[in-house]
Amino acid sequence: MADSSSSSSGNDAAAVDENSVSTFVSSLVFNLVVAAVIFIAFCILRPRFKRVYAPRTYAVSTEKRSTPVSSKPLAWLSAIFRVRDEEIIARVGLDTYMFLRLMRTMFVIFLVLSILSLITILPANLTGDGNATGLSRLTMGNVKADSNNLWVHIVFFMVFVAWVMHTIFGELKVYTRLRIWWLTNPTHASKVGASTVLVSTLPTPLIENEGKLSSMFDMFPGGVRQVIVNRNCSKLEKIVSERNDFVGKLEKALTTYAVKCEKAHAKSVKKGVAYVAPKQPMTRASSIPFKGPKLDAFEFYSTQIASRNQSICEMSGDKEQYKRQSSAFVLFRKQLAAHMAAQTVLDYKPFSMNSVSLDINPDDIIWSNLNMNPYDRRIRGYISLAATIGLVIVWTILTAALVSLVSIENLKKIPALSDMSDSKWFGLFSGIVPAVLLAVLMALLPMILRLLLRLEGTTRVSEVNLRLLHRFYFFQVWNIYLVTIFSTALLTILTETASNPAKILELIPTEVPKSATPILVYVLLLAFTGAAKEILQISRLVLRYVLPLLFAKTPRAIVNAEKPAEFDWGVSIPVHSLIFLMGFSYSFIAPLVNCFVAAYFGLFYLVYRYQFLYVYNDANWVTGGLSFPKAIQQIMVGVYISEVYILLMMVAKLVAADGVNANGILRVIFTGLTLLLTIFAHSYINDAYLPIINYLPVRGAADIEADPKIALMFPNVMDDGELNSDSLEVNTVLASEQKARLGFYAAYGSLVPKKFLDYVLLKVPSLLDPKKLLSPKPDAVQEKADEEKGIMSDDSPPALPMPTAHHYDSLSIDSALQPVSTNIVAGDNSLSIHSYTSATELRQRRSMAPSAASLGKRRSRFDMAADRLEVDANDNALAEAFSNPALRAKSVSVIWVPRDNNSLCDEVYRNVNAWGAGTIRIVSEGVWIDGKCNVKADVDFDPEAAAAVQAQKQ
């Protein structure tokens, strides 16, 4: 009877192992095929859909734009690797650069891990004399408890923990040098936000006395330039919001009417009949459908806008009428003063002025959270923490329920599916569906967590994302790593040890390695399909091409659809940290995991390098790389969990052996010692680097003030010497080679010793050739293709406006601003490329276009937005920029709408101006109706700036 039971158990184990192989193979094949198809689709679609795959070539400020890539399918690969590290920081910021470094570092670590583990760990597992079958034979579960092969795992693990810690030290050293350079570089230091702090929870005496508040902060070096106390403008905010809604409705109504006029005229010409003006739109005053009489929409919207603009003009004249809030912006004359203020205990009262934020950007502020008292903020924090714990419990139940519902064992319990066999199709089902469901469920979580963080009283959006990093990572570790992936192993261990708790150590060495298959499946899904989905941007492809055709009916909506996407920092970094945890914790258990984790980080590094250079634009995410230390802390969590695993495995192996032996005890001692040494190293990291990560060191600021050239040059990040500019003062070939050498050290110095890098550079001197490190330029073939399409060089006359959608790349960025008349002048649709079907006609038309000298140059609206907060701005401009958005609202509304090509709606526009009572300005430049009666807009055009020019001419 026992033999029969044993045989049955063995058969079940063999079936499970066979199913794990089927699951792994089917998942691997499926993900490889899907990834290949998606990457091929990207290579085909990239040159054709530039607004999705290359918006950073035109829809950002000029100095941050990337050079357009050739239309060749694989040209983007060489283009992204020819951009220097210094230029990456200049284009996309230090946050992005450090994130890319992190991805590259993880790729190198797991690439080396993969190679060495296949050489050492895999043979040790295969010759471990265990009874495992299938994929389990490749894991540590196949090694007997008393086998000397376990020493291979221990030595391997200890060496790589040491290397990871060495890499972390090196990366933090690089980051601290780069952060000092970034903080003091004129690109950042010239922004007034670099020397500004937001002080929250001000005491009442300081709220009511700005002079006293200013004199208190005047104690810091350089003193205070300006203090701006925030004010409660809730009533004004409501009026501004209503006015903006009516502006949107009026723009939509006028744009639709202009298009109808154009269509009616084209129809009348085609049929040879007299033109009949379309009926003007009607609306109702009530928001309740069908309530109230119908009114002329143009008149109603215009009068409502005029009424609210009048109220805005009256209410924004005197700021003193608005109640002061318990927060203020303090603008210092020196950047160092702001950093000193952020580190200083500002008040002797509990919780008073205990929240000071650095590097302030008004667009990053959550204005509704600026008047929260410290006790209210703390209570909200406790409530948010309790809600987060509740979410953990709820998500655990939901995750476990979903995963269990789609398991083959539970599906077999359904009568209609009871006869199904464990075929490869069901292996494919069990390998893909749970991972997909889990990904969908986890995608809902960040929205809830962000809401909770905002309700806590967090004052900045960037701070919400930084705090989200750790919370979401905790959810990832708990729900995906522990609950989902280890659910089967934990359930088995708990079931078997319910009656005999002492058996738990006996089951750990056999059950834990079996979880390698779910980990492999999850990493496979994210490595191949996930990376491919990231670069294809299928959702944005739909949102930016299909939805605008349906909903973007006004010039403003069309231009907003052109804005580059933003990277989700708070969600993406924890996902990558989780993959590191999965890979490193199983690096010594199942070496096959290392290969796919290396593929994961390699593919995502490749994808992200392209995405950040050509797609993502995070203009408001400027933290100076503060997400990087948080990612390092998450990596440390992965190291700790891995060390606990190997310690438990060695203890379990010791207990499972026939008798206590010296070898087993030594193995436990060595793994325990590794954990202790890691704790000491982590403590050293916190003591050594955390204080200089967040703030500008006084010594660094003093060195740069004495020698400003230091802040202009990319630093020698691997040098512990003094900050100086002597090494790169001369513009020679030798200086260029030295700069290239420093860049090479910065890229790889944290991974390998400097002597090894010097040896590589000695053997491969071409790596120091500055020409190979220059930014990519379009090749001759691309230049010829661009000429056919109509892309003009910098020397070409910038005569045509920048259109949207498929045709954006056909025109110059620096087109000229045509004079804005006080009267409504017909737009010159003859300059639109949409009226022509051949490149020859387009070139002929361009030859007749006005020259740049005759029209004058205009700056991109993206450049003007970037220059809004320079330190040389006057105090009034700064006071306005750091005021509540409602106080910044203008009492004149700019209506940006197209004109039909035959001046058919001029009378309507004149009536709107009259109804607006001087508070409405219609701008028709930068937008036109093409030959197919579609509205097109110049993405570089700023209607507000044009309206300002129009006002000056009146």
**Do residue 434 and residue 508 come from a single domain?**
yes
Using DSSP, state whether 936 is helix, strand or coil.
Answer: strand
**Do residue 284 and residue 409 come from a single domain?**
no
The whole-angstrom separation of Cα 154 and Cα 906 is 82
Sequence-distant (6+) residues with CB within 8 A of 942 are 861, 864
Q: What is the DSSP string of 919-932?
A: SEEEE-TTEEE-TT
**Do residue 458 and residue 520 come from a single domain?**
yes
**What is the token pair recorded at 317?**
């004249």
Any domain includes 721: yes
- Predicted confidence at residue 496, as pLDDT, reads 61
Any domain includes 835: no
DSSP lists the bridge partners of residue 792 as none
**Do residue 459 and residue 598 come from a single domain?**
yes
**What is the token pair recorded at 102?**
């992190």
Task: Give Cα separations from 860 to 351, 813, 824, 832, 865 (angstroms).
Answer: 45, 7, 23, 19, 9
- Predicted confidence at residue 16, as pLDDT, reads 46
- What dihedral angle (degrees, nearest 10) is formed by the CA atoms of 303, 304, 307, 310? -100
Any domain includes 503: yes
| 604, 623, 642 - which closes a domain | 623
196-200 and 355-357 strand pairing: antiparallel
Any domain includes 630: no
- Predicted confidence at residue 237, as pLDDT, reads 92
The whole-angstrom separation of Cα 573 and Cα 725 is 35
The answer to whether 674 and 161 have CB atoms below 8 angstroms apart is: yes
Measured on CA atoms in the order 570, 573, 577, 582, is the torsion positive or negative? positive
- Predicted confidence at residue 724, as pLDDT, reads 62
**Do residue 298 and residue 398 come from a single domain?**
no
Q: Nearest to residue 301, comparing CAs of 260, 257, 241, 252? A: 252
Any domain includes 458: yes
| 623, 649, 670 - which closes a domain | 623
Q: Where are the beta strands (DSSP E) in 301-363?
A: 324-332, 355-357
**Do residue 19 and residue 123 come from a single domain?**
yes
The whole-angstrom separation of Cα 850 and Cα 839 is 19
Q: What is the pLDDT of residues 824-842, one digit of tens each?
A: 333 333 333 333 333 333 3
Sequence-distant (6+) residues with CB within 8 A of 851 are 797, 799
> Looking at residue 598, what DSSP letter applies?
H
**Do residue 476 and residue 610 come from a single domain?**
yes
**Do residue 383 and residue 287 come from a single domain?**
no
**Do residue 384 and residue 511 come from a single domain?**
yes
Any domain includes 686: no
| 623, 647, 673 - which closes a domain | 623
> Looking at residue 369, what DSSP letter applies?
G
Task: Give Cα separations from 159 to 163, 164, 173, 357, 706 (angstroms).
Answer: 6, 9, 21, 41, 44
- Predicted confidence at residue 523, as pLDDT, reads 82
Apex 433 CA angle, 427 and 435, nearest 5: 110
**Do residue 403 and residue 549 come from a single domain?**
yes
- Predicted confidence at residue 126, as pLDDT, reads 80
Task: Report the domain count for the chain.
Answer: 3
Any domain includes 779: no
Q: Which residues of the chain have a pLDDT value below 50?
A: 1-16, 728-730, 773-857
- Predicted confidence at residue 424, as pLDDT, reads 54
Any domain includes 674: no
- Predicted confidence at residue 819, as pLDDT, reads 31
The answer to whether 565 and 537 have CB atoms below 8 angstroms apart is: yes
The whole-angstrom separation of Cα 810 and Cα 803 is 8
Range of the domain at 271: 239-321+817-827+890-954
Measured on CA atoms in the order 896, 902, 904, 909, is the torsion positive or negative? positive
Per the listing, tokens 């991109």 go with 860
The answer to whether 684 and 168 have CB atoms below 8 angstroms apart is: no
